[in-house]
Amino acid sequence: MTTRDPDPDPGTAAAPVARLVEVTRLHGDGAGAVHALKGVSLDVAAGELVAVMGPSGSGKSTLLNLAGGLDRPSSGHIQVEGVELGGLSAAGLAALRRRNVGYVFQDLNLIPSLTAAENVMLPRELDGVRTARAREEARAVLGEVGAGDLADRFPDEMSGGQRQRVAIARALVGERRLLLADEPTGAVDTLVGDEILRLLRAKADAGAAVLVVTHEPRYAAWADRVVFLKDGEIVDSAAAGLVSAR
């Protein structure tokens, strides 16, 4: 297992937004223990979109959950914005997640009884932001993802692609720089799927660090770097040729 993530630009010594070093995750213990991840190292820098590809059971979702502090590794180190997650209490970890990490899950988890704007506002309000400001932020970020006209709609009044946009807006609201997406294209058609990746790409180009897990090559292809995960190990990675040309 080697680290295939040399600093792309040694001139800027900025720490990556997310860093995994020799991360191992075991499920169960003793002889029946299963290695979900076996010593994975991966950096995601600001401005970078990284895709993780692999068959089901390869450890993709485990990797994403660990990077976002939703799960803890059996060994190895994980840093988000330079903070070592292993050193944080449960409450500290929760606070870091809310402040720094946005998630888009396959089953969007939008709350059906809240409008799009209210769904987007929720994490900010939980963070103590006043309602009026949270609403303003929600409108702005919904506009950013092309869902400004959906603000007052409820999830069941939206198409799959529209719900996806709202979920992405919720992931982006606030100052978060790390965006994690687990199969964000779900079951949408390729046109909507491309739009979703275009949005994530735009966020990366605007300075976010984006880590996307997908089993679909066409979506992985939007990334600067595609990491192939197999049986809990990174087996190869493909980097796009001209990173500076975007």
Partner 1 sequence: MTIRHGLLALLTQGPRYGYQLRAEFEASTGATWPLNIGQVYTTLSRMERDGLVAPGEQDEQGRMVYAITEKGRAELDRWFATPVAQADRPRDELVIKLAMAITAPGVDVARVVQAQRSATMRTLQELTRAKRGAGAAQRLVLDSMIFQAEAEQRWLAHCEAVLAASPKEGM
CA distances (Å), origin 240, targets 58, 214, 226 = 23, 17, 8
Q: Does 222 bind partner 1 (CB under 8 A)?
A: yes
Task: Tell me which of 27, 130, 133, 246 binds partner 1, using CB under 8 A.
Answer: 246
Residues 179-208: x where in contact with partner 1 by CB under 8 A, - otherwise, as a string: -------------------x--x-------
For partner 1, the closer CB: 188 or 240: 240
In whole angstroms, the minimum distance from the beta carbon of 74 to partner 1 comes to 25
Binding positions for partner 1, 49-78, rule CB under 8 A: 53, 55
Q: Helices 160-172 and 116-126 meet at what angle, rounded to 10?
A: 20
Tokens of 146: 């092309």
Distance CA 80, CA 176 (A): 11
End-to-end Cα separation, the chain, in angstroms: 30
Among 223, 229, 232, 234, binds partner 1 (CB under 8 A): 223
Sheet containing strand 18-27, strands side by side: 34-44, 18-27, 75-80, 83-84
The CA distance from 138 to 76, in Å, is: 36
Residue selected from 66, 226, 229, 234 as contacting partner 1 according to rule CB under 8 A: 226
Site size for partner 1 (CB under 8 A): 24
Which positions touch partner 1 (CB under 8 A)?
53, 55, 198, 201, 216-218, 220-223, 226, 228, 230, 235-242, 245-246
